[in-house]
Amino acid sequence: MFDYIVVGAGFTGAVLAERIATQLKKRVLIIEQRNHIGGNCYDQYNEDGLLVHKYGPRVFHTPDKQIWEYLSQFTEWKSYQHKAAAYVDGVLVPIPFNLNSIECLFPKYLAEELSRKLIELFGYGSKIPILELRKTEDAELKLLADFIYNKVYLNYTYKQWGLKPEELDEYVTGRMPIYITRDDRHYHDKYQAIPRFGYNQLFKRMLNNSNIKIMLNTDYREVVTINHHTKQVKFMGHAFEGKLIFTGKIDELFDYCYGELPYRTVDFNVKVLQKEHYQDIACINYPNDYDFTRVTEAKHLTGQVHPYTAIVEEYHRPCTRKDVPYYPIPQQQNLAIYAQYQQLALEYPSIILSGHLADYHYYDMNVAVAMALSKFDQELQLQKSLLSTGR
């Protein structure tokens, strides 16, 4: 009945399903545990008519024209340059930390001297991870680095990950740089925007194909079984001869045989306020105050005109098996366990792994789309090879 089964309807699963249905003309079944498509990018109108990003703010940005043009098939865009800030000692400063942030927090003479040294040492327009800056031998820059580490990144990282910055893999700490610039934009990619009619509409258009069927509110284990001895996949109790594309937790797929991989989850507290705006920009971080990590006001993202507004507070915590996993925790011991699962997956020729949970690696949206397109290209080449050999 189906040639491919895709577990998960986020960007990875949706892109692969769309490519398979339109380019290979194959029938695809998407199985999604939640009651909606779009994964963590899902947005919805609440009872007051406010468009809210249910799982936190989503700003699409990419330097890649190919990715931009691919998604533009399914949406019009609202241009948007994202800015974020953080309260540090009661002062609202631009985040990521930059030269303007320094001027907000330090006396003028010291701010000018620190900015001069940063530009001379690293060059204007560059960025330097906070842990690298802390290694500097210059006393004033060391003072700056320690201040930023303790006041901006340490507590925020602990709230988000439950770990200190130095306890995380370098690719995470590399996402916490100091920008040697006065450009307050959070992203510097060429293409930055929000889907004009929301992410939900983008996904609906992407999956609007007669070759694609969707099962919502369904745990894939209710309809798909895998015999880990014979490596055979069954669907609804019958042998499945197609491919299973799995975008969920890799440790769950293999029944946690090498142990359980840890993840972080997020609780979202949505508040509707009877005022036009709550804050001046979309996202404000609270690294040292309150239990929540940040507050997002969706109207800054969507541009929606409405007399009310909605804010979302985010609370990070450890993830249980019943929770929605958001962030794989990139520590060496966890990556070693993942490598075992990755090696085991090679023994299952009918299973394709893709996505940040299956790869145990956090991806921005543009990277998830790029990797899904790359995974499809691999599958396309395989199909062509099979056709050429008559198999």
Q: Domain check: are 106 and 140 in the same one?
A: yes
Q: Domain check: are 172 and 109 in the same one?
A: yes
Q: Domain check: are 288 and 356 in the same one?
A: no
Q: Domain check: are 118 and 231 in the same one?
A: no
**Which domain range does residue 271 map to?**
263-318
Q: Domain check: are 270 and 256 in the same one?
A: no
- Tell me, yes or no, whether 135 lies in a domain: yes
Do 22 and 73 contact (CB within 8 A), yes or no?
A: no
**Can you read off the two tokens belonging to residue 136?**
């500097």
Instruction: Give residue for tokens 């510097």.
Output: 188
- Tell me, yes or no, whether 88 lies in a domain: no
DSSP per residue, 317-386: EE--TTSPP-EE---HHHHHHHHHHHHHHTT-TTEEE-STTTTTS---HHHHHHHHHHHHHHHHHHHHHH
Among 179, 194, 218, the domain-final residue is 179
Q: Domain check: are 117 and 171 in the same one?
A: yes
Assign residue 232 the CATH number of its domain.
Answer: 3.40.50.720
- Tell me, yes or no, whether 54 lies in a domain: no
- Tell me, yes or no, whether 188 lies in a domain: no
User: What is the predicted pLDDT for the residue at 336?
Assistant: 96
Q: Domain check: are 308 and 337 in the same one?
A: no
Q: Domain check: are 229 and 377 in the same one?
A: yes
- Tell me, yes or no, whether 51 lies in a domain: no
Q: Which amino acid is at 158?
A: Y
Contacts of 230-235 spanning 24+ positions with Cβ under 8 A: 231/347, 231/348, 231/349, 231/350, 233/350, 233/351, 235/2, 235/5
- Tell me, yes or no, whether 29 lies in a domain: yes
Strands 212-215 and 28-31, bridge-based pairing: parallel
Number of domain units in the chain: 3
- Tell me, yes or no, whether 42 lies in a domain: no
| Residues of the chain under the 50 pLDDT cut | none
User: What is the predicted pLDDT for the residue at 273?
Assistant: 97
Enumerate the β-bridge partners of residue 52: 44
Do 161 and 39 contact (CB within 8 A), yes or no?
A: no
Q: Domain check: are 277 and 337 in the same one?
A: no
Q: Domain check: are 239 and 213 in the same one?
A: yes
User: What is the predicted pLDDT for the residue at 173?
Assistant: 67
Q: Domain check: are 108 and 166 in the same one?
A: yes
User: What is the predicted pLDDT for the residue at 330?
Assistant: 85
- Tell me, yes or no, whether 27 lies in a domain: yes
Give the N- to C-terminal CA distance of the chain in Å, as an integer: 20
User: What is the predicted pLDDT for the residue at 1?
Assistant: 85
Q: Domain check: are 170 and 280 in the same one?
A: no
Positive or negative, the CA dihedral 378, 379, 384, 386 is positive
User: What is the predicted pLDDT for the residue at 360?
Assistant: 96
Enumerate the β-bridge partners of residue 264: 318, 327
User: What is the predicted pLDDT for the residue at 57?
Assistant: 92
Q: Which amino acid is at 382?
A: L
User: What is the predicted pLDDT for the residue at 390?
Assistant: 62
